[in-house]
């Protein structure tokens, strides 16, 4: 009964009649899993590549799994690159969404959207011979901003990636694996996480809820 009541309260807070959440549709995988995760929060997010629908949304999510250079070329060909960088409402990048919001990526020597100053580089296995890709549960450290409100200290979240954003002025959480990297970034209205909140259990559930309440 308590669980049902909590979900009812979340729906009431997160899904007022006037709130419209958009997930950007483009040539990347894993987009539907984010849509399903939002449904579990009681939010019916719209999946679209229509610039007008994206610009008029209350919140925008830019998720995905893919290769940086081909994905960036797709965004340029469709004009979504300029749409994304012009957004003024809260935006959340997830996984490759975070990487494409950075300045450059070593994957395909790609110039990205340059919202964040940080560069994306390939993991290099260190003396302890870490496996690449970085896949599985790892810890968030030094969390900042309301995106992580209510989370316990050093929570575990789920990662799957071979490239990572350097730490820098936009870093709001970091994780250690073959060195330290940005697990989350924020600049103005743009937020981004390298981990998958839709696969990160209660922690990911709370991160998504916090974003919707920004």
Nearest Cα to Cα of residue 199 among 154, 143, 159, 139: 159
Cα of first residue to Cα of last residue in the chain, in angstroms, is: 28
| Tokens of residue 137, six digits | 């549960």
Q: Looking at 102, 134, 161, 196, which residue is catalytic?
A: 196
Return all residues near 44 (Cβ < 8 A) that are at least 6 apart: 15, 21, 38
Asked if 57 and 22 count as a contact pair (C-beta separation under 8 A), the reply is: yes
Active site residue 134: no
CA distance 98 to 109: 16
DSSP string, 98-140: HHHTSSEETTTTEE---SSS--EEE----TT---SSEEEEEE-
* CB-based contact 197:205 (threshold 8 Å): yes
Options 95, 112, 118, 134, the catalytic residue? 95
Q: Is 95 a catalytic residue?
A: yes
Structure tokens at 91: 């935006």
- What separation in angstroms does the CA of 174 have from each of 5, 80, 128, 146, 213? 34, 28, 20, 16, 23
- Active-site residue, selected from the candidate residues 134, 142, 198, 205: 198
Q: State the catalytic residues.
A: 95, 196, 198
């Amino acid at each position: 009964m308590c669980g049902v009541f909590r979900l009812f309260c979340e729906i009431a807070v997160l899904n007022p009649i006037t709130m419209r959440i958009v997930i950007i549709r483009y040539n990347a995988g894993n987009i539907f899993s984010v849509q399903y995760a939002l449904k579990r929060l009681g939010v019916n997010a719209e999946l679209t590549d229509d610039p007008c629908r994206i610009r008029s949304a209350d919140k925008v999510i830019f998720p995905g799994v893919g290769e940086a250079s081909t994905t960036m070329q797709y965004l340029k060909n469709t004009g979504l690159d300029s749409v994304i960088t012009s957004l003024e409402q809260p935006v959340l990048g997830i996984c490759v969404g975070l990487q494409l919001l950075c300045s450059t990526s070593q994957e395909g020597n790609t110039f990205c959207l340059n919202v964040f100053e940080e560069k994306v580089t390939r993991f290099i296995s260190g003396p302890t011979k870490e496996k690449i890709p970085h896949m599985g549960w790892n810890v968030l450290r030094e969390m900042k901003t309301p995106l992580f409100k209510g989370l316990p200290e050093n929570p575990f979240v789920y990662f799957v990636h071979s490239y990572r954003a350097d730490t820098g002025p936009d870093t709001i959480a970091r994780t250690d694996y073959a060195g330290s990297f940005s697990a989350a970034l924020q600049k103005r209205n743009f937020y981004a996480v390298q981990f998958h909140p839709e696969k990160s259990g209660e922690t990911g559930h709370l991160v998504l809820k916090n974003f919707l309440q920004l």
